[in-house]
Chains A and B, each alone.
Chain A
Amino acid sequence: MNPNRRTALKGAAMIGALAMGLLKSAGAWAQSWNKAAFETKSLNDTVKAMGGASAAESKDIVITSPDIAENGAVVPFSIASKIPKTESISLLVEKNPNALAASFGIPDGTEAGITTRVKMGQTSNVIALVKADGKFYYTSKEVKVTLGGCGG
């Protein structure tokens, strides 16, 4: 638990939930969730909200995804980082309403690579943001979305 991360809004929501008796285990739900970062819209703002100054472009991060996604509701992504001491991997979709889609913490012993599926509202640059040894690195890739499903 990190009290600094919790906003007043989230606190209010928790009190509301407590009042309704919905919250059976306060400890579990109070896990950190970086609300500020998830509400940002651009790469720089997200990096700032995650505690970094700026990110440097890196060729040691690889995004594997289709170049053209026929269905924006389910776009598969694999992100792998070869940067030593990778601590976290985040996936951002530039033109989504909120850029940050998912953020993964990579403990020691876990390979710095994840695969998941995200939604994309439209054709957009996708950015993989890696925190390694306290610094931020990124790489980006354009993914075209053809919601009509014609394959572009």
Chain B
Amino acid sequence: MADPMKIRAAMAGNQVEVKILMSHEMETGQRKDSKGATIPAHFIQNVTATHNGKTVLSAEWGPAVAKNPFLSFKFSGGKPGDKVVVTWVDNKGDKRTDEATIS
């Protein structure tokens, strides 16, 4: 299981600004190890953020997203105390869900 995500959700005016830092290798499948063997691709493919069960952002990623991905976006309709839940799934089927409370 991968390390937890760091998620911050804070009111910015009447919108909620969400900042997510994930912990993931994001291996491209293009690199070779010291023996010249290709390191298999290992990267997050899907990211979903929900608020009160409603999807506020969905993402499909390729291996070009940087290691330990960072993601930030804003949505309206949230209020302090609500939870934002973020889930990612990688190309090996590994997944991780974390949540943050809007401040």
- Chain A residues packing against B (C-beta within 8 Å): 17, 22-25, 28-29, 31-34, 38, 73-76, 93, 96-98, 100-107, 109-111, 113-120
Contacts and interface: CB of A to CB of B under 8 A. Distances in A.
Interface string B37-61: 0000000011010000011111111
Given A101-B65, A104-B57, A116-B66, 15 more contacts: A17-B93, A23-B93, A31-B48, A34-B60, A38-B60, A96-B64, A100-B62, A102-B61, A104-B58, A104-B73, A107-B55, A107-B56, A110-B75, A116-B69, A116-B70
B57 A105 contact: yes
Contacts of B89: 28-29, 31
B86 to A, nearest CB: 13
Closest CB pairs A-B (n = 9): A101-B64, A105-B58, A117-B66, A115-B72, A110-B75, A111-B74, A38-B62, A103-B60, A31-B46
A120 B30 CA distance: 13
Nearest to A78: B72
B24 to A, nearest CB: 12
A116 B57 contact: no
B26 to A, nearest CB: 8
Interface residues on B, range: 35 or more
A119 B60 contact: no
Contacts of A75: 66
A115 B73 contact: yes
Contacts of B55: 105, 107
B103 interface: no
A98 B57 contact: no
Contacts of A113: 73-74
Contact of B56 (A25, A34, A101, A109): A109
B73 A118 contact: no
B65 A118 contact: yes
Contact of B59 (A76, A93, A103, A109): A103
